[in-house]
């Protein structure tokens, strides 16, 4: 694809390189300058005149900075005369602020959507969006791509390697909001069934699991979520399942936010296996598996 140029800023450089190689596309060069007063200047060093451009950039870790850098890059690319711009935001920051949970809160995700709409790219894509209602915030064509096939393949291989009978496996939704994700995995793993946990969130980044109505005794439980941040939700769910007799707990999540050394707490917990995708690129311990989303990206 000689007419295609791939860009990334800071969050998804390895992913951009894989995609460029996969499609025999040019990898665009950029410069990012930070000034002493905190201002930033981002520009393309590659001319995009009459070219189709694809940008990969997760708005993770100081999401507001990643977002503004992204807006500046898009403007720079447009000024070189690009033909089209497709924007992949593998992890969409602020997606957990899609509704008002506490009095006088803004719907931050809607604000971010309005800002991104001003960039006037041709399409925005992400992976495993926190809530489907977020798509309604955008005027720009917006698509959330599922990673279920990656997790299904991973767990089929894991269960086979560990000689675990599929009938002894439960897919656990850590809350009602994750039901659709759990249903999709159950469909990909015939013979399993779903368990839903009830959860109450008493403050930001804190969740307490209350109860569930099912028998998990002797079962291998797979908890599948979109985001692991502090890990409190997952550890609470894991402890609850084990207290009720689960044989082991496996945990999969699309987005490895992992703030405040949560990865250390997870590794010290009773989680048997931990797997993420590479929507957020970071160094993880070798005993944590990472699934490559480039396998399901089609340009």
Q: Give the whole-angstrom CA distance, residue 226 versus residue 180.
A: 11
By CB neighbour count within 10 A (0-12 exposed, 13-18 middle, 19+ buried), where does 69 fall? Answer: buried
Q: Where are the alpha helices (DSSP H) in 7-166?
A: 13-22, 63-79, 108-117, 148-161
The question of whether 22 is a catalytic residue gets the answer no
DSSP-derived letter for residue 166 is G
SS3 content of the chain, % helix, strand, coil (to 5): 30, 30, 40
Buried b (16+ CB within 10 A) or exposed e, 230-256: bbbbbbbbbebbbeeebbbbbbbbbbb
Encoding tokens for residue 161? 């390697």
Q: Give the whole-angstrom CA distance, residue 153 versus residue 192.
A: 14
Q: Are residues 141 and 87 in contact, defined by beta-carbon separation less than 8 angstroms?
A: no
Sign of CA dihedral 150, 278, 4, 1: negative
What Rg, from alpha-carbon coordinates, does the chain have? 20
Q: Pairing between strand 40-44 and 30-34?
A: antiparallel
Q: Are residues 170 and 203 in contact, defined by beta-carbon separation less than 8 angstroms?
A: no
DSSP-derived letter for residue 245 is T
Q: Point out the catalytic residue in the list 22, 114, 120, 199.
A: 199
Active site residues: 199
């Amino acid at each position: 694809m000689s007419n295609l140029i791939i860009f990334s800023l800071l969050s998804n450089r390895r992913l951009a390189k894989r995609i460029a190689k996969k499609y025999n596309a040019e990898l665009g060069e950029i410069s990012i300058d930070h000034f002493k007063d905190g201002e930033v200047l981002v520009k393309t060093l590659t001319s995009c005149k009459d070219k189709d451009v694809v940008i990969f950039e997760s708005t993770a870790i100081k999401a507001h900075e990643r977002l503004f850098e992204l807006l500046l890059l898009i403007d720079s690319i447009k000024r070189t005369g690009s033909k089209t711009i497709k924007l992949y935001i593998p992890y969409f920051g602020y997606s957990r602020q899609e509704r008002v949970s506490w009095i006088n809160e803004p719907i931050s995700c809607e604000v971010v959507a309005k800002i991104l709409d001003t960039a006037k790219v041709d399409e925005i894509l992400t992976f495993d969006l926190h809530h489907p209602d977020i798509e309604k915030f955008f005027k720009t064509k917006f698509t959330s791509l599922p990673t279920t096939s990656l997790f299904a393949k991973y767990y089929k291989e894991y269960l086979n390697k560990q000689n675990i009978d599929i009938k002894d496996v439960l897919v656990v939704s850590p809350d009602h909001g994750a039901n659709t994700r759990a249903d999709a995995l159950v469909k990909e793993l015939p013979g399993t069934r779903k368990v839903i946990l009830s959860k109450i969130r008493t403050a930001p980044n804190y969740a307490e699991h209350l109860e569930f109505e099912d028998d998990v005794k002797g079962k291998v439980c797979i908890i599948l979520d979109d985001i692991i941040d502090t890990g409190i939700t997952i550890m609470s769910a894991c402890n609850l399942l084990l207290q009720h007799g689960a044989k082991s707990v496996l945990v999969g999540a699309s987005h490895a936010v992992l703030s405040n050394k949560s990865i250390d707490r997870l590794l010290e917990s009773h989680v048997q296996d931990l797997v993420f995708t590479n929507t957020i690129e970071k160094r993880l311990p070798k005993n944590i598996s990472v699934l490559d989303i480039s396998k399901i990206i089609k340009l």
